Amino acid sequence: MKLIIDAMGGDYAPIEIVKGSIEKLNITPNLSLIFTGQEAIIKQELSKYTYPLDRVEIVNATEIIEMNEPPVAAIKNKKNSSLVVALDLLKEGRGDAFITAGSTGATLAGALLRVGRIKGIKRPALAPIMPSKTKGVLLIDCGANMDCKPVNLAQFAIMGSIYMEKVLGIPSPRVGLASVGVEDEKGNELSRASFELIKEENAVNFIGNIEGRDVFDKVDVVVADGFAGNIMLKSIEGMAVFMFDILKTELTSSLRSKIGALLLKPSLRRMKKTLDYTSYGGAPLLGIDGIIIKAHGSTKARTVHFTIQQAMDMVNADLVNVIKSSIVSTEEND
């Protein structure tokens, strides 16, 4: 298996990206890597490590797309960026999957412009895994599509369900539609029309509308338009940070609490780990005709491990082809 890695994307690139990639390479037989980016810089990073030289390749790309560049312009103007070069390699079949921690907008635009959608998929979606009481819950879409149509959400439901079943091994994943109440008629125009479409998808184990408070145990997949999904994701992340802040203040507020905190250190560490979304890897971009994972901008070496594993699991599940055939059969049914 060969993975393409954007060595220049992300807050800690190239240092942490190269470090995590090589560490994972060294414990994974049959894995090869192609780094895209400025060759001299990548070589310098690689020189820090011992690794099987024949399983690492560098494809030089002199330009870097910054986080705040207008995405489409960046893709069109920076043909020699680490992102565009990587996407072209993926398109040409030079690698089985592609990972980047670079700009989300540019990754989305580049994936559409350089790799393209799976035929029949109207809008690809970004689908991170959020912590939950079970194996994590996939949120699709978390921000790739601002104004959606019901058919988009129905396709998100199919793709999300396939991901959780084929990649994470959850049989008949429970799919819920983000809404403002659990009753069938609750929601806005978009969600109510989407409800009717998803209900008709035989391949989806649709449990109906769910509320924000249900995502942690009642479902394996949450379907939402990208606006609502992003608000859900970031509210949850924000609340976690807020609560840890309060906890920290409380745990250092007196001698008594400091001693208590000391005793609870292992517990609190485990709690933080349970809530650490980076251990789930990055957000797959589902619906693109190739396997692409957008890792978090703040990705460090440890998260690169998880993300490479995730990419390998997606390749092994033959995810793109499974989605392709599910969409073909849906269209045939129409």
- Kindly state whether residue 216 participates in binding a copy of itself, applying the rule CB under 8 A: yes
- Kindly state whether residue 103 participates in binding a copy of itself, applying the rule CB under 8 A: no
Residue number, 73 or 259, with CB nearest to a copy of itself = 259
Interatomic CA distance for residues 231 and 243, integer angstroms: 18
Among 213, 332, 333, 334, binds a copy of itself (CB under 8 A): 213
Among 197, 203, 207, 275, binds a copy of itself (CB under 8 A): 275
Residue number, 131 or 284, with CB nearest to a copy of itself = 131
Interatomic CA distance for residues 110 and 78, integer angstroms: 11
CB of 258 to a copy of itself, least distance (A): 9
- Kindly state whether residue 124 participates in binding a copy of itself, applying the rule CB under 8 A: no
Query: Residues in contact with a copy of itself, total (CB under 8 A)?
Result: 59
Any residues with CB less than 8 A from the CB of 249 and at least 6 apart, and which?
none
Check if the beta carbon of residue 158 is closer than 8 Å to that of residue 203.
yes
Handedness of CA 283, 289, 291, 295 (dihedral sign): negative
Interatomic CA distance for residues 304 and 57, integer angstroms: 18
Among 233, 292, 295, 311, binds a copy of itself (CB under 8 A): 233
**Read out DSSP for 211-275?**
-GGGTTTS-SEEE--HHHHHHHHHHHHHHHHHHHHHHHHHHTSSHHHHHHHHHHHHHHHHHHHHT
Residue number, 51 or 244, with CB nearest to a copy of itself = 244
- Kindly state whether residue 143 participates in binding a copy of itself, applying the rule CB under 8 A: yes
Among 62, 80, 172, 253, binds a copy of itself (CB under 8 A): 253
* Site residues (CB under 8 A) for a copy of itself, limited to 182-211: 187-189, 191, 211
Residue number, 88 or 141, with CB nearest to a copy of itself = 141
CA geometry: angle 129, 275, 19, nearest 5 deg? 75
Among 73, 151, 243, 328, binds a copy of itself (CB under 8 A): 243
Range list of H helices, 101-176: 104-110, 150-166
CB of 234 to a copy of itself, least distance (A): 3
Range list of H helices, the chain: 15-26, 39-46, 71-77, 82-91, 104-110, 150-166, 189-199, 226-251, 255-274, 301-316, 319-333
Residue owning tokens 């184990």: 205
Among 267, 298, 316, 325, binds a copy of itself (CB under 8 A): 267
Site of interaction with a copy of itself (CB under 8 A): 132-133, 143, 146-147, 178-180, 187-189, 191, 211-216, 224-228, 230-243, 245-247, 250-251, 253-254, 256-257, 259-264, 266-268, 270-271, 274-275
